[in-house]
Amino acid sequence: MRLAMYIVVFIAVIIFGLVMYSFTFKDIETPKYQVLKTFGKVEIRKYPNLILAQTKLGSSEYKSSGNNGFRTVANYIFGGNSKQQKIAMTAPVIMNMGDSASMSFVMPAEYEMDDLPKPASDQVQIQEQESKTLAVLRFGGYSDDEKIRKYAERLEEVLNENNIKVKGSLLYMGYNAPWDVVKRRNEVAFEVSGY
């Protein structure tokens, strides 16, 4: 009886620890952006120039392409490069969901283009992205194609109501590891003009 109680307490402590870990701030770098304006839950953000490790995707569907794209680019930062150098993970992972679908990792701010090793895979390119202004809508939980479409439609409605012009394709930005259970952060975004 006593052993069963200890086992139950041990399991409860482990579960509590995992939940608390999910609530704690993880020291993962994210790009510094400036919020220019808000429309309810929609933020208009100005992003600086970013360096991206990017791979092209065969499809713009999150379910069918997300994992493969993630693995391809993750291989680069985990040492699949000319120097076998590990590069710190950042957030978010960015998926361009247009006709030219792609998956990108933002490189840590400490790197310049010339500092980064060459990818070992010809499926990964290192690119500098110029400063952009994005309209962004955040949502929680786990992502799937249906949720991404639903929030993208909400974002488009707000932009249309406020006569904000969209440039380019839908972007999905994911901030969490698959094992993060709570406080998950996802965003849909469009580049916008006029700001």
In angstroms, the Cα distances linking 127 to 97, 115, 116 are 18, 13, 11
Q: Please state the pTM of the whole predicted model.
A: 0.84
**Residue 33 φ/ψ region, left for φ over 0, alpha for ψ in the -120 to 50 degree band, beta for the rest:** beta
Q: Tell me: domain 34-192, CATH 3.20.80.10, correct? A: yes
DSSP state at residue 76: H
What does the pLDDT look like over 51-93, one tens digit per residue? 999 999 988 888 878 888 999 999 999 999 999 999 999 999 9
The tokens describing 82, both together, are 């000319």
The tokens describing 141, both together, are 């939980």
DSSP three-state, residue 41: coil
- Beta-strand runs (E) in 1-82: 34-39, 42-47, 50-56
pLDDT over 90 for what percent of the chain? 74
